Amino acid sequence: MPESEQDLGSLHELRGPATRRLMTLEARGELATQHVRLVASCLNASERTVWRWLERARAEGKTERKPRSAFTLTDDLLAQLALLGGNCAHLHRELVKQERAGGPAAPSLRTLYRAVNRALTPGEWSGIRKGEMARRRFDVYLRRPTDTDQHHRNTVWEGDHVQVPVRVDVDGQLIKPWVTWFVDCATDAVCGLAVTPGYPNRASILAALRSAILHDEQYGPFGGVPTLVRVDRGKDFLCKTVMTALSCFAVVVGDLPGYCPWLKGTVEELNGAAEKMFFNTLPHYVGRPTFPGGKPIDPDEPVLLFEDFVELLLGWVREWNFDIPKPALSGRTPHQAWLDDAWPIDNIPAEDLRLFMLEDDGRERTLTSNGVSWRGRKYVGAWMTGFGGTGRKVRLRYMPHHDHEIEVFDAVTGRHLGPAVLGDQAPKQAVAAVQAARRSASKRVTRALKAAAKKRRIQYGAVTKAEPPRLLGAMTSEEARAELAGIDYQKLPARAASEIIPLRPPAPGWTLPKKSPQGPSKKQEEKS
């Protein structure tokens, strides 16, 4: 290998093995100048240098390179470096100050940098300066195998929430919706999803699970009951309702540690692909370049309605499942990989799935002529005709956060009786008017509270030298006396005391203590 391509650091590491080989040849009487010349040419050293290595090995018994004394980064210096935010120049200035105050000699700035580079990896140094998340960007991750016998369709699913970086129109407000979806790890197929305008909850997870398990025309042949579902430690994924719904079908939930997205890399890859391939093409994408100051380049860009966004998202998911080949699937689409897999699919009837993925009310209720009362409202159903007023005991199951419809069961036998809807539901226009009034009142109260907080805030002036803080908007003595003079002390609450307000006479029939015949005590005389 040419000398220009050799790594001198690696050659120094070969000094020990080469010297030991020459010592072995010398012990057998086979060492010749040709051997020394070959080692010198390989290690980019002179023959005389190699002979000195042999002399040192005979005298001291050491074949390795003599270590040089270098400045090292101690634990105390490492803690001080972390305190200074990883700023080596600042640490060097502090060491120079300590040297001038009689401390140990400070190294040069280049020596300090070399010591830090030897003691810390780039990931550790980045973590000291910017935190744990910055350090994780330098980690190396393994790729999950896809050719094992345990990795077939519906063997492992992964679920996650992702906030869409696109603002859509929801009742006149620009809101970034959330998507909850489940993806099959063996085929990269999106089995089902649910979209919510606000922050997702357990109802979003149940809706996405229902669409993923059922065979729907929107998602194609994908569906069935998975063996394992991997989720992070979100409390909505691990709530009692979701765990009960999955436990009914013997589905194991893999509870992954928090802030470890690489442990569910399939769904995280889907999140990134959706933003790069779909979300960034929509209007009002928040990651689009803007003018200095944040002003959008096209302020008159049209806004998507929520229902239009959902329709476009479902179209992209269908394209992802049927038309986009994946390198991890050997150039096949998720649909092709799903059909090529002969792993059996466990299906569940839609009726059973609809009833199991509901939350129990937890108490018995009475069926009256007005229907069933729940949360102060009446729910009625066509099947209740003929049973009103009988006092039949029933139990309720409902979809969380969906109070417009409930399912009613017999409290004794547990048999499903039928659905019930809200008896007197207000029209959409009235509901929108009420919500607008609530938002207006909330904004008015918020403005008043912010104004009050601003009045209470004490502000101080900026200083350029060490001096006591100076209060801004200071009040003069005359202003304070004028404001105190305007207070009506007569309106202040008076303190009720027995010395000011006489006690009322005792009620009839009460037993009073006997009066002392010796007259008042000394303490009473002192008080009087």
Chain segment 190-209, per-residue pLDDT in tens? 998 989 998 888 878 888 88
Does residue 3 surpass a pLDDT of 50?
no
Top mean pLDDT of 76-85, 481-490, 515-524 is at 76-85
Mean pLDDT is lowest, of 69-83, 139-153, 199-213, 252-266, for 139-153
Predicted pLDDT of residue 489: 55
Predicted pLDDT of residue 147: 43
Top mean pLDDT of 97-101, 216-220, 354-358 is at 97-101
Predicted pLDDT of residue 187: 92
Q: Which tops the pLDDT comparison, 247 or 18?
A: 18
Q: Is 470 exposed, middle or buried (0-12, 13-18, 19+ CB in 10 A)?
A: exposed
Does residue 145 surpass a pLDDT of 70?
no
Alpha helices by DSSP H, 61-151: 75-83, 88-100, 109-119, 122-130, 132-136
Q: What is the mean pLDDT of residues 448-467?
A: 72
Q: What is the mean pLDDT of residues 76-80?
A: 90
Q: What percent of the chain has pLDDT over 90?
A: 23
Predicted pLDDT of residue 125: 87
Predicted pLDDT of residue 113: 93
Q: Which two three-digit tokens encode residue 487? A: 């207070």
Predicted pLDDT of residue 6: 43
Task: Tell which CATH architecture fits domain 358-422.
Answer: Roll (2.30)
Predicted pLDDT of residue 320: 94
List pLDDT tens digits, range 33-43. Answer: 999 899 888 88
Does residue 347 surpass a pLDDT of 80?
yes
Q: Which two three-digit tokens encode residue 186? A: 């063996």
Predicted pLDDT of residue 491: 54
Top mean pLDDT of 94-98, 352-356, 479-483 is at 94-98
Q: Which tops the pLDDT comparison, 247 or 72?
A: 72
The CA-atom distances, in angstroms, between 277 and each of 320, 332, 469 are 10, 18, 55
Q: Which tops the pLDDT comparison, 508 or 458?
A: 508
Round to whole Å and give the CA distance between 487 and 481: 10
Q: What is the mean pLDDT of residues 261-269?
A: 83
Q: What share of the chain is helix, strand, coil (3-state, %, to 5)?
A: 40, 15, 45
Q: Which tops the pLDDT comparison, 510 or 221?
A: 221
pLDDT band at 149 (very low <50, low <70, confident <90, very high): very low
Mean pLDDT of the chain: 81
Round to whole Å and give the CA distance between 63 and 55: 10
Q: Which tops the pLDDT comparison, 13 or 191?
A: 191
Does residue 177 surpass a pLDDT of 50?
yes
Does residue 95 surpass a pLDDT of 50?
yes
pLDDT band at 317 (very low <50, low <70, confident <90, very high): very high
How many other β-carbons are positioned within 10 Å of the β-carbon of residue 18?
Answer: 21
Q: Which two three-digit tokens encode residue 479? A: 């202003």
pLDDT band at 348 (very low <50, low <70, confident <90, very high): confident
Round to whole Å and give the CA distance between 64 and 16: 5
Identify the CATH assignment for 156-340 out of 1.20.1330.10, 3.40.1280.10, 3.30.420.10, 3.40.80.10: 3.30.420.10
Q: What is the mean pLDDT of residues 470-474?
A: 67
**By C-alpha distance, which of 77, 90, 83 is closest to 119?**
77
Top mean pLDDT of 171-175, 197-201, 319-323 is at 319-323
Predicted pLDDT of residue 357: 61
Q: Which two three-digit tokens encode residue 466? A: 């060490």
Top mean pLDDT of 86-95, 210-219, 293-302, 435-444 is at 86-95
Q: What is the mean pLDDT of residues 427-447?
A: 76
Predicted pLDDT of residue 318: 92
Does residue 360 surpass a pLDDT of 60?
yes
Q: Confirm if 474 and 480 have CB atoms less than 8 A apart.
A: no
Does residue 467 surpass a pLDDT of 80?
no
Q: What is the mean pLDDT of residues 206-225?
A: 80
Q: Which two three-digit tokens encode residue 241? A: 């309702």
196: which strand partners?
178
Does residue 313 surpass a pLDDT of 90?
yes
The secondary structure element, H or E, covering residue 255 is strand 252-255
List pLDDT tens digits, range 221-264. Answer: 898 999 989 887 677 777 776 887 787 788 888 877 776 777 78
Predicted pLDDT of residue 242: 80
Predicted pLDDT of residue 272: 92
Q: Where are the domains of the chain?
A: 3-60, 75-136, 156-340, 358-422
Phi, psi of 303 (to 5 degrees): -110, 135
Predicted pLDDT of residue 92: 93
Predicted pLDDT of residue 10: 53
CA 371 and chain centroid, separation: 43
Q: What percent of the chain has pLDDT over 70?
A: 80
